[in-house]
């Protein structure tokens, strides 16, 4: 049973955005500080990647652990109520992410997924981003 009224639930869900969330902004700030330039949310690419590096043919997705089902992550816990709604929705998000990643690979793009929980260790994240962006195809 949901602890919120339908109106309260609707209002809360309406506040959930798909772009420009805190984790994405943090990654954008780090990438820019490292000297890389990028485009945002390319609608012409599968999955509308968060950061696009066209000359390098590379993209970065910044995923929330809950919404995109980060494996073995405490932040990806399953809700306790309305499992009949949440389980298919969250599994659908995960499957869509895999489909988009496969489509990008088929088109010759390299993909890096950064999970929200990985933002805690900035040094490791910086190294990972540098390796990804500087690696030759």
How do the domains of the chain map onto residue ranges? 18-134
Minimum mean pLDDT range among 6-10, 36-40, 95-99 = 6-10
Tell how far CA 59 is from the center of its chain.
11
**Domain topology for 18-134:** Endonuclease; Chain A (3.40.960)
pLDDT in tens, 88-112: 999 999 999 999 999 999 999 999 9
pLDDT in tens, 43-81: 999 999 999 999 999 999 999 999 899 999 988 888 888
Whether the full predicted model's pTM is greater than 0.75, yes or no, is yes
Q: Calculate the alpha carbon distances from 42 to 9, 28, 129 in Å.
A: 30, 15, 19
- Spatial strand order of the sheet with 51-53 comes to 39-40, 51-53, 58-63, 110-115
């Amino acid at each position: 049973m949901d602890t919120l009224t339908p109106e309260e639930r609707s209002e809360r869900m309406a506040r959930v955005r798909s772009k420009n969330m805190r984790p994405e902004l943090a990654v954008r700030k780090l990438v820019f500080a490292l000297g890389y330039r990028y485009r945002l949310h390319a609608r012409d690419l599968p999955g509308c990647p968060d950061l696009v590096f066209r000359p390098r043919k590379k993209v970065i997705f910044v995923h929330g652990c809950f919404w995109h089902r980060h494996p073995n992550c405490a932040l990806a816990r399953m809700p306790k109520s309305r499992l009949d709604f949440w389980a298919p929705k969250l599994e659908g998000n995960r499957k869509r992410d895999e489909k988009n990643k496969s489509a990008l690979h088929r088109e010759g793009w390299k993909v890096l997924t950064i999970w929200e929980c990985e933002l805690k260790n900035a040094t490791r994240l910086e190294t990972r981003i540098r390796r990804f962006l500087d690696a030759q195809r």
